[in-house]
Each structure stands twice: as C-alpha cells, then as structure tokens.
Structure 1
Amino acid sequence: MKSYAARRAALMAQMQAKGGGIAIIPTAPEVMRNRDADYPYRHDSYFYYLSGFTEPEAVIVLVAGKTNQAILFCREKNLEREIWDGYRYGPEAARESFGFDVAHPVAALDTEMPRLMADAPALFYALGSDSKLDAQVQNWLQAVRMQSRAGVAAPSVVHDVHVLLNEMRLIKDADEIAIMKRAAAISAEAHRRAMQISRPGLREYHLEAELLHEFRRNGSQYPAYGSIVATGANACVLHYRASDAEIHDGDLVLIDAGCELDSYASDITRTFPANGKFTGPQQELYEIVLASQAAAVAETRPGKRFMDGHDAAVKVLAQGMLDTGLLDKNKVGSLDDVIEKGAFRQFYMHRTGHWLGMDVHDVGEYREIGATGSEKPWRQLQSGMVLTIEPGIYVRPEAGVPEKYWNIGIRIEDDAVVTENGCELITQDAPKTVAEIESVMKR
C-alpha cells in the first residue's frame, strides 16, 4: 500500500510543478466476449500502478492544490451481485485498504467531478484514451463553465497524464523487479517443460498447453501475451500464434511465451530442435544468433544508449549472413555495406528489444525527452530499466539463398534488468546454449 501511495504522491508533486490541477485515471472497462460472457477482466496498468486495486468500474482522481488529495471512485457494496460475481470492497473498505484520502461510489462521479474541477488550473488526463470518459469529461467541463457568472473557472489547460506516468513506470523499484524475477523464473521453467515434452508427432497446441499448465501451476494469473509456438516454416512468421501444425522430425520449434504475475510481464523466446538434436545448418545459424545476443548484452548497461545493443547484434548477424552465404558478398558488398544499406533486413527485420514491465511492450520513450532536431538521440539506459534482448534470423525459401537454411526461424530472447554496472538476465534458467538444450531434451 505504501508504494502505491508514494507513487500517487510523486505524481501529484509533478502536477504541482506544472501549476497544479486535477488528474483523472480510469481503470479498464469490462469487455463482452459473446452473449452473457465477458473476456477475463484485466485492470488498466496505469490505474493499477497508482492503486493496486483490481476491480472494474473505478476511477482515481488526484487533486494537486493547496492540499493534495487522492480520491477513489469505485463500485458500492452489493451483496446480491457478490453472490454472482465475487467480493466487492465498496468505497469505505477500499479507502482504508488502499490508502486513499477519500472514496466515493462510482455513480457519484457526475456529482463530484464538477465540484472538484471548479477553479482547477489544469486537467491531467489522457484525452482520447476512453471515448466514454471523454464524453463525461466534456459534460463536467460544461457544468463548470456554466458557473462562470458566479466567478468559477474551468480548467484551461490539459496535460497528458500518461506522459508523466510513463517516465515513472520506466524505472522499476525493488518490489517491481522482485515480481518480474519471479515471473521470469516461472516462464523459464515453462520453456524447459516444453523442451522436455517436445517430440515429432505432437502439435503446436500440445506445447502451448504445457506452457499454460506451468504458468498457472506456479501462481501466474495469465499469459502476458498470446503464446507463439511455431514449428518449421511457421517460425519465420514473427507474430505467429500457436495453432494445430504438426511438429515434424528435423523441425526447429520456436516458442515465444511468458507469464504475467501480479500485473507484471515476462517475455522469453527459445528455439530448439523438435527431436532434441540440432542439424548442422540449424546449429550454424543458432550459434550466430546466440553470439549476437551476447554482443547486445555486453552493450546493455548504464550510459549506453537503447540502440547500442541492437547495433552490436546487427553487426554479428550481418557478418554471419555473409559467412554462411545467406548474403552473397559479390552482390551486397562488405559488412559495412550490408549494415549501411540494410541488406541484413532480408533475414532480420525487427529491433533487438523493447521495454518490459506491466505491459509486455511497456511504456516509456525510446529517444531522449526534450532533445531537439530532426533525429533525437536514443535514450541512455539507467539502472532500474527492464528490457528484452531478442535477436533472430528468419530464412524463407528464396532464389540465391542456400537451400539447407530454408524455413529455419531462430529467435533467442531474454529479459534484462539494467543494474549499476551492467545488466542481469533474469530469464537465464531457460536453457539456451546448444549443449544445454540438447542435454535437457535428452533427459
């Protein structure tokens, strides 16, 4: 509770620095899946970051003025609905349990908000993120403006509250990192289980089932994203979803999957041979990707820029493409030519990482804030940032590409916490070297 209250206080301090005002942060709405059945509910990350409160139909309002105030609007107690849907805190219990100054029924928003917004200099609100709330905000503003003859002023400035929160969320505290380490450990064990169960004749969804079993068995609430389980040529489809393709002897299997634990994501990719033994061409490309990841890891430390790891990985990958003949030196030129012209993108077309946190592609600017010019510099890494490191090679059948590499798709992804002196890979328990993978699968 203290960390949520501290985050609210930190946000209000930033609001005060901009002249004060009212912040409005709603949670996510429930979404119907089909008749009389909703999708599994997942709260809004910004809302949860400031509250720890997981019920739907809730709004946080922060007042930064002469005195600061944190207000929660939530559902009232309703014993009949609790029989059907489960426990509800109600405003008073929620206020006490989650450390708010005041709590009101969510139905009181239309009464309370014009009063709170009166004479507030600014709104801190993510305009356009929720069309229903946008309409409510317009109505509240209109109600305040109608009091202008009585000397009441409506907020005249709107700041995007997400911009402030993104910067806060980008640097993880010790509690957040501890949760992410546990999520990483659960996901690593799931990848190990999938390797051990894999064999020709199974289907992709069989391995997906093993992942989901291990996630839930260890206390994870959800997958952090739709699991990618791709065999053979399917591994060359970057956002492929686990389906019913049969796993054949000689295939590689690419699994990109991670669990969500207590609202924090993990994100791991491993690639392994379905029968437990890499072929020569598979191992050649695999070792190139593994070396490229090591090069990126070496560039992941405070003071380095976000893209330094990507650039290091690209250099290793591009050289490997030249050495194996994936790229014809006579056509593409030297290593510098390959990088300058982007010829490597034929086989490696994505960035080497992204921020990770409450969302699998977490919030935070990738370029320096406040920098000017047409090309802002990439952001410098700081201790407490968490990002993925995930190079790959994807070879589709194509004239001029050695046939022995066709339909090989490889990605190796780990989650890295930037530390004072470098970075810590918190997903290392998922087997990664050729020797580790073959040993685990042999057993």
Structure 2
Amino acid sequence: MISTQNLFAQRRNDLLSKMPEASVALIASGDETIRNRDVEFPFRAESDFWYLTGFTEPDSVLVLIRSEVFQRQAQVLDNEDHVYPSDHQAWLFVRPKDPEQETWQGRRLGVDDAPGVLGIDQAWSIEELDERAPEFLMQAEQLLVSFGQLEVWSLRIADWLAGLKSQVRKGIEAPSQLLDLDRWLHEQRLIKTRDEIDWMREAAKISVAGHLAAMRVCKPGAYEYQLQAELEYRFKQLGADRVAFNSIVASGENACILHYTENKAILKSGDLVLIDAGAEWRGYAGDISHTFPVNGRFSREQKQLYECVLRAQRAAIEQVKPGQAYDQMHQASIKCLTEGLFNLNLLQGSLEDLIKQQAIKRFFMHGTGHWLGMDVHDVGRYKLDGQWRHFKPGMVVTVEPGLYIAPQSEGVDQKWWGIGIRIEDDVLVTETGNEVLTLGLPRSVEEIELWMQNNQ
C-alpha cells in the first residue's frame, strides 16, 4: 500500500495533470457550522479537500497551480523574489497556531508543520489568503472552483480579480475564465484506487457488523431508536469515524417513507423493520439496507414481496460489470419487480405494457443505485454526452431495489398496506465482473428467519 502522504500527493499531481494549462484550482475544507447558540455541529471536511490533502481541519484552503502560471509570471515580473519555483504547485492555507484557542477548541497543525506532515509545497496562514491571492492568480488563464462552492467564493474572487485588473498597465493579467473543477476532480474520484477499495471494504465490513448488532436486539416492544443505538455503537466500537449518513430505522408503515429518520416508534410483532445505515471509515462510506421481521417470522404477504425485491436485486447485480451501461441494472430491477407484482395481481394489464410504461413507479419510485465513495451519494457523472456511461473497474455502486405499499393505497388489497422493503448492497466493478463488498448479512427469507431464531 502506498504511504498516506504519497497517496494524497499522487492525487494532487493526477489532478494537476488533467487541469487546463495555466490554470489554478481552489478547494476549501469548509467552515464549522453553528448548531444552536455557541454549539457547533461536528465538523467534517469537504470530501474534495479531504481527498486531496488528508487534512481535516476547518477554515483551510488548498490551492493547486499549474507550472505554466509561474512561467508566465516570470515574463512580466522584474523582481525575481516574487517568482516561485515551478514545482511549488500545492499551497495550503491553514489556521495558525494559537495556544489560547487550542486550549478551548483543540490542537491545530499550524503553518510550520503543514508541509512536512502533509507533503505540501507551501503553507501559509489562512489570514493571508486575500493578501497572497495575486501571487497564485497573476497570469493564470482559468480559475477552477467547484460550482457547488461558488457562493462561498464569488465575492472574494471578484475582489481578487478586480485587484489584478487594476494593474493591467504593468502587463499583469487576471484569469479570464471561471470553470467548474468538478469536471476534472469528480471524474478522478469516481474510479477508486486499490487503497480506496481497501478502505471501502473496511467500511462495508463495519456496516455489516452494525446491522447484525441491530438485528440481535430487535424484538416486539423495543423502540426503533434502540436498534439505531446498537447499530451505531457497533460502528464506533469497530473504529468507524462516524455514520456515513443519518441512520434510517423504519418499522411497519414507516418503511414506506424513503428517508424516515425519526426512529421513535415502537416495534410491533407482525411488522417488518427496514434499516438503511452505513459506517464511515477513513472518510469512505458504507451503505446497506436490510429488511427483516420484528418477531423473526415473515407473513405470507411480506415473504412474497421480499422475495420479489431480492430477485430484483440479484438480477440488477448481474448487470454490474465492465462495459455494461449504468442504467441496465435499473432496467433489470424494473422488469423483475413488475413481473413480481403482476404475478401477485398488484399490477394489472399487459405485462409488456406495464414494463414499458414503468407502472412499477407507483411502488418503486427511486433509482436502483448510486455511486458510493467518500460521499454516500458519491460524485461522478452518470451520463456522458447524453448517454448512460458504462461501468469500469474501480467504480463502486449501490444496488438497492425496493417496494413500498403505502397505507390507504387506492385499488390495492388492504393485506399489502404498510409493507416497505429495500435490500441494498455495495458493489465494486472488477476487471472480470463485480464484487459485493457488503457480504455477511442473511438475505433470503430462510436465512433471515434462521438467523433471528438462533441469535435473539
């Protein structure tokens, strides 16, 4: 495994090689956010910044500078003291050391230690960012920022560019184009390296352990939040940084709410419980959905719908392989789910027309998956030039078909009401096919019932 410092340096160099000539990129770590009064939310660095630095402090900015910028500066500046070596392409602005603040808020890396610890070429105090902006923007042709952070940067950039433009008579030029950095950086993040895959395997392993822990304490009369507590305790016990997203523990008809996070209801015998949760390990997310009966036994209707979803998931996973178009796993889910509900008389008409018209959307209203990585809904385009992109080795995707029969569903027999099911695994595209990273949970009806009988 490559050393951590070299890994981040390699990522920065890879991005620099893809950036346009004579361009500069700005990537911020983000600011602490007030939760209420003087209490902050737990801070997590922006994923793009973390990906390129491995640094997790707030109020930090990474600047990547193509060497052509320095070469162009040398042609217009007489004072060589202001010309930086062309290999000093990674600058980091960080919070300065402050003993008083560190006593209250925690340790800071500081300017002096940043280059050695992080492998950065130049480090400065974040308080100097405005002052030093002309030194890295002068003679650049393009300025690259994530348009997702454009609101953060817009006023500051406007001031920097205005200052440079006022020196036009000296031959100094300001960047003339503002480009979206995501175009290059997010495509780079989409293909996972061997190190990233190892970290995602660990995130998946911890996530599986958390789900099993929640299953172990599930019983009628318990509360949803008690399952959540056991799940998240197991995550932390195994070294997870945090949850990858707000845990969903939805029993009974709550499972028909896709992003249910109240997690306050009492678990009732005869209901299913749907858990959608994942651990974050070294910045990488796990994401699993698992549905099982509170009392350990599926009813007839629950079993029929569950097996329909499981067939759809298995059919979709078969489509995750190099060269296959991304949407084929969703089409496989639609076909399988539609056939299943047609056979159960929940969808009526011509099966061919039902599939073509995507009639299943009434009961399956989301996609079959999404990219997974540092963000649970990870970055990277799903289409290229208007066409679904094809899977490549190193991509990681979730596969998560579901069925949700909401209460009071018009035209649906009441015996189906309030059943919500989702089955989700994390799948790596390999050279020859795929690898399910989240193996270890009982998945079939028989496996789930036997596991709960032996482990509760």
- Structure 2 length as normaliser, TM-score? 0.93
The whole-number CA distance in structure 2 between the counterparts of 1:130 and 1:38 is 23
1:72 aligns with 2:87: no
Q: 1:400 aligns with which of 381, 404, 411?
A: 411
8 Å CA contact 1:235–1:409 kept in 2: the answer is yes
The one-letter code matched in structure 2 to 1:140 is W
Shift of 1:130: 4.6
Shift of 1:127: 4.1
Residues 393-432 of structure 1 correspond to what in structure 2 (within 5 A)?
A: 393-396=403-406, 397-432=408-443
- Provide, for residues 149-187 of structure 1, a one-character-per-residue CA deviation record: whole Å limited to 9, x for no partner: 111011111221121101000000011111111111111
8 Å CA contact 1:208–1:242 kept in 2: the answer is no
The whole-number CA distance in structure 2 between the counterparts of 1:264 and 1:274 is 30
Q: Secondary structure at the match of 1:24?
A: strand
**Structure-2 residue corresponding to 1:32:** 34
**Structure-1 residue corresponding to 2:448:** 437
8 Å CA contact 1:286–1:410 kept in 2: the answer is yes
The one-letter code matched in structure 1 to 2:431 is E
- Structure 1 unpaired stretches of 5+: none
Residues 274-423 of structure 1 correspond to what in structure 2 (within 5 A)?
A: 274-328=294-348, 333-368=349-384, 371=385, 376-396=386-406, 397-423=408-434
1:145 aligns with 2:156: no
Number of matched residues?
431
The whole-number CA distance in structure 2 between the counterparts of 1:127 and 1:426 is 32
Q: Secondary structure at the match of 1:90?
A: coil
8 Å CA contact 1:128–1:134 kept in 2: the answer is no
8 Å CA contact 1:395–1:406 kept in 2: the answer is yes
Shift of 1:132: 3.8
**Structure-2 residue corresponding to 1:93:** 113
Cα 1:102/1:207, change in 2 over 3 Å = same
Supply the RMSD in Å over aligned alpha carbons.
1.1
The whole-number CA distance in structure 2 between the counterparts of 1:334 and 1:115 is 68
Identity %: 45
**Structure-2 residue corresponding to 1:5:** 9
The one-letter code matched in structure 2 to 1:284 is Q
The whole-number CA distance in structure 2 between the counterparts of 1:229 and 1:320 is 26
Shift of 1:243: 2.3
8 Å CA contact 1:196–1:440 kept in 2: the answer is no
The one-letter code matched in structure 1 to 2:14 is A
1:84 aligns with 2:104: yes
Residues 163-174 of structure 1 correspond to what in structure 2 (within 5 A)?
A: 163-174=183-194
Q: Secondary structure at the match of 1:133?
A: helix
8 Å CA contact 1:302–1:422 kept in 2: the answer is yes
**Structure-2 residue corresponding to 1:21:** 23
Q: 2:64 aligns with which of 62, 65, 69?
A: 62
8 Å CA contact 2:115–2:122 kept in 1: the answer is yes
The whole-number CA distance in structure 1 between the counterparts of 2:135 and 2:338 is 61
The one-letter code matched in structure 1 to 2:153 is L
**Structure-2 residue corresponding to 1:123:** 143
Q: 1:227 aligns with which of 247, 259, 275?
A: 247
8 Å CA contact 1:348–1:392 kept in 2: the answer is yes
- Provide, for residues 9-60 of structure 1, a one-character-per-residue CA deviation record: whole Å limited to 9, x for no partner: 1111112xx2222111111111001111100000000001100001111000
Shift of 1:201: 0.4
The one-letter code matched in structure 2 to 1:384 is G
- Provide, for residues 272-318 of structure 1, a one-character-per-residue CA deviation record: whole Å limited to 9, x for no partner: 00000111111111111001001001111000011101101111100
Shift of 1:398: 2.3
Return 138-147 or 398-407, whichever deviates more. Answer: 398-407
Q: Secondary structure at the match of 2:162?
A: helix
The one-letter code matched in structure 1 to 2:393 is S
The whole-number CA distance in structure 2 between the counterparts of 1:128 and 1:286 is 38
Q: Secondary structure at the match of 1:91?
A: coil
1:47 aligns with 2:49: yes
Return 429-438 or 270-279, whichever deviates more. Answer: 429-438
- Provide, for residues 47-90 of structure 1, a one-character-per-residue CA deviation record: whole Å limited to 9, x for no partner: 01100001111000111024241111101111222211221111
The whole-number CA distance in structure 2 between the counterparts of 1:287 and 1:128 is 40
- Structure 2 unpaired stretches of 5+: 69-85
The whole-number CA distance in structure 2 between the counterparts of 1:57 and 1:41 is 11
The whole-number CA distance in structure 2 between the counterparts of 1:398 and 1:171 is 42
Q: Secondary structure at the match of 2:387?
A: coil
